[in-house]
Structure 1
Amino acid sequence: MGSLVSLSPLLLCVLFLLSSLPSPILSASVRCNPEDYKTLMRIKKSLNNPYHLASWIPNTDCCNWYCVECDDNTNRITQFTIFQSNLSGQIPAAVGDLPYLDTVVFRKLPNLYGSIPSSITKLQNLKMLRLSWNNLSGPIPGFLGQLKNLEYLDLAFNRFSGQIPASLADLSKLAALHLDRNRLTGAIPDSFGRFKVDTQKSLYSGFYLYLSHNQLSGVIPKSLGEVNLITVDVSRNKLVGDASVLFNPNGTTQTIDLSRNQFDFDLSGVKFPKTLIDLELSHNIIRGSIPEEITGLELLQGLNVSYNRLCGQIPVGGNMNRFGYDSFFHNRCLCGQPLPNCK
């Protein structure tokens, strides 16, 4: 009776089925941390077990799952990336229970809705937070300013509304801020002048600021002129006043886009940074003339000053011959090639 052969066929079948079932606990040979494993399974459930996470099979090594990465030394989950999927739901609060995360990406998920969970503030190792091209809404939460190690914040292409929280300037290591293509209103916070990139410790050589395609109003804060901007794009808003503070002749700015606002200042006395590659000023109320110094910008590849109130001779020389009629037309009395000759 003790031999396997003497067992009944029914009992043999049951024993076989039991032996083929996965172990209720993770094998000691897998890398995946048990706490991270439990958290990821909760995340999958809260997202209604989407096909995009089909590789998240129970009782298997989560370090081998799609959308996550483990650190080779700690075996903890450090990156969580869901990109271009039809999964639906909200950002799971359980994401905040993966304490070693340095990267969180939910991107190009049109059925991802709701707000940013406050639990994300527990991720004090987070360096990149990218929640773009989704359907997120509501105000941008001020508690994001608690992510002290954040270097890159991208909330673009959503439906965020309300004012930009001044507390984002508490992110002392932040080097890139994407808030473009939302429904934001109010002024650009004066606190943004506190953004300072430590180029000795950061991968970034300066600050990248994208605020375009919103409904922002008011003036450019003077404090923003103290920031080492590489790119500043505030196009397609309702901003007014003098934006010349953004032109730092001793800075390293490469791109300035002020187009489609209501900026009103004299361009004549503006001094450009030698690093300027792209300058877009169209559709404003900018006065004066184009400074002759623009011909000395050896890196300049893009220029558009159309639809303003500029006057005088278009400077000749340098890279100016590469810009055609469309770069200058619809100004009050601008003249010279490629526009009609000055009288």
Structure 2
Amino acid sequence: MCGKTTTLLLVLFTLLLTTSLSKDLCHKDDKNTLLKILKAMNISWVLEDDCCTWYSVDCDNANRVISLAISNIDVSGQIPPEVGDLSYLQTLVFRKLTNLTGQIPRTITKLKYLRSLRLSWTNLTGPVPGFLSELKNLQFVDLSFNDLTGSIPSSLSLLPNLLSLDLSRNKLTGSIPESFGSFPAKVPDLYLSHNQLSGYIPKTLGNLDFNRIDFSRNKLGGDASMLFGANKTTWYVDLSRNMFQFDLSRVVIPKTLGILDLNHNGITGNIPVQWTEAPLQFLNVSYNRLCGHIPTGGKLQEFDSYSYFHNKCLCGAPLDSCK
């Protein structure tokens, strides 16, 4: 009787151990998909049976792959269309992969749970895909430091949960879409710097309370004063190295503004006294057409002359005294 009991206990223990081990293994469909992706990108890793333990892979409690983040390794080829088969993926990162080429595949629209898409510092080409607007759960989109061309698709403004859009350091042309003045929910941080964008900023952007805007190093012109306002909570504005022309005297900046860069434009007028009330940590208004006395007080005298020089007739500390 004792022998039978021992045998039964061994059988039960084996079953429990097998069940426990099987729960540690990622879903077979996800594993097969990952193997196809690694092969297509010529990635050679020493792989254990459980793909949830693989480098750059994370799984949820049900052992479904929810994150794939590959960066700073030697890969080649294009983004495999199979990435769209990781059905539960929430985060997709391909970053600092200099030999990753080609366009962003449409199969990515199958990732209905995707929240964060970061394809940056690669050699991706082609357009910024308008089909990204089909991914309704997207919160963070970073396509910076690539070779993307064409215009910015207006459909990106339809993303209901977007918190940040970074298209900087590409070769994008055309204007900022009018639709960017009507994001459906929270106003996202918007980074469009180092492109070849032209035209005027849509006036409707003035109705939005951005936290961070970077439109620097483009070919944008006209009036950008609508981006400011006393009732806004903006923290960061970089409009440097464009062709903006407006009267700074009329610009009331938010009392929350910490970073402001307006250098290398055609801005006229003087610096308002109201600016002394802002908690500025960085300021650059150099290379414009400003005049008048730099107001005394607040943070304005804490910046060196570099922040103010090469203006038409700006004077006062930290520049030379007004005559």
Give the 5 Å matches for 1:319-334. 319-334=299-314
Q: CA deviation at 1:227?
A: 2.5
Q: For the aligned residues, what is the CA RMSD?
A: 1.2
Shift of 1:61: 1.1
1:173/1:197 contact within 8 Å kept: yes
Quote the Cα distance in structure 2 between the aligned partners of 1:341 and 1:47.
62
- Partner of 1:136, secondary structure, is coil
Shift of 1:196: 4.7
Contact 1:260 1:283 in 2 (8 A): yes
Matched with 1:40 is: 34
1:338 maps to 318
Are residues 1:110 and 2:98 paired?
Answer: yes
In structure 2, what is the Cα distance between the partners aligned to 1:46 and 1:296?
Answer: 56
Contact 1:308 1:331 in 2 (8 A): yes
What residue identity is the alignment partner of 1:311?
C
The aligned counterpart of 1:188 is 176
Query: How far off is 1:181 after superposition?
Result: 0.4
Number of the residue aligned with 1:55: 46
Instruction: Provide the C-alpha distance between the structure 2 equivalents of 1:117 and 1:212, rounded to a whole number of angstroms.
Output: 24
Query: Which whole-Å deviations, capped at 9, do the CAs of 1:244-271 have from their partners, x for residues lacking one?
Result: 1110321111111010000000010111
1:333 Cα deviation after fit? 1.0
In structure 2, give the amino acid aligned to 1:335.
Answer: C
Number of residue pairs matched? 303
1:1-343 paired onto structure 2 within 5 Å: 28-48=22-42, 50-51=43-44, 54-57=45-48, 60-72=49-61, 74-198=62-186, 207-297=188-278, 299-343=279-323
Relative to structure 1, is the Cα distance of residues 320 and 147 closer, same or farther in structure 2, using a 3 angstrom cutoff? Answer: same
Cα deviations across residues 34-55 of structure 1 (Å, max 9, x unaligned)? 111111111122123x23xx13
TM-score calculated relative to the size of structure 1: 0.86
Q: What is the Cα deviation at residue 197 of structure 1?
A: 4.2
CA deviation vs aligned residue, 1:185-234 (integer Å, no higher than 9, x gap): 00000111122544xxxxxxx52111110000001111212222111000
Cα offset for 1:147? Answer: 0.7
Aligned-partner residue type, residue 194 of structure 1: S
Distance 1:285 1:41, change over 3 A: same
Distance in 1 separating the partners of 2:64 and 2:223: 50
Identity of aligned residues (%): 56
Where does structure 2 lack aligned partners over 5 or more consecutive residues?
1-20
Tell me: CA distance 1:83–1:220, structure 2 relative to 1, closer, same or farther (3 Å): same
Q: Say which SS state the counterpart of residue 81 (structure 1) adopts.
A: strand
Structure 2 CA distance for aligned equivalents of residues 252 and 217 of structure 1: 27
**Counterpart secondary structure, 2:121:** coil
- Residue deviations 1:60-95, cap 9 Å, x none? 1111111111101x2110001001111111111000
TM-score, normalisation: structure 2: 0.91
Shift of residue 179 of structure 1? 0.4
Q: For 2:299 and 2:185, how far apart are their aligned partners in 1?
A: 31
Structure 2: how far apart are the matches of 1:232 and 1:56?
Answer: 42
Q: Distance in 2 between matches of 1:228 and 1:95?
A: 35
Deviation at 1:29? Answer: 4.7
Give the equivalent residue in structure 2 for 1:201. none
Superposed CA deviations along residues 125-153 of structure 1, whole A, max 9, x for unmatched, are 00000001111011111111111100000
Structure 1 unaligned segments of length 5 or more: list them: 1-26, 199-205
**Separation in 2 of the partners of 1:330 and 1:247?**
24
Name the SS of the counterpart of 1:153 in structure 2. strand
Given that 2:197 and 2:219 are in contact with CA atoms closer than 8 Å, whether structure 1 keeps it comes out as yes
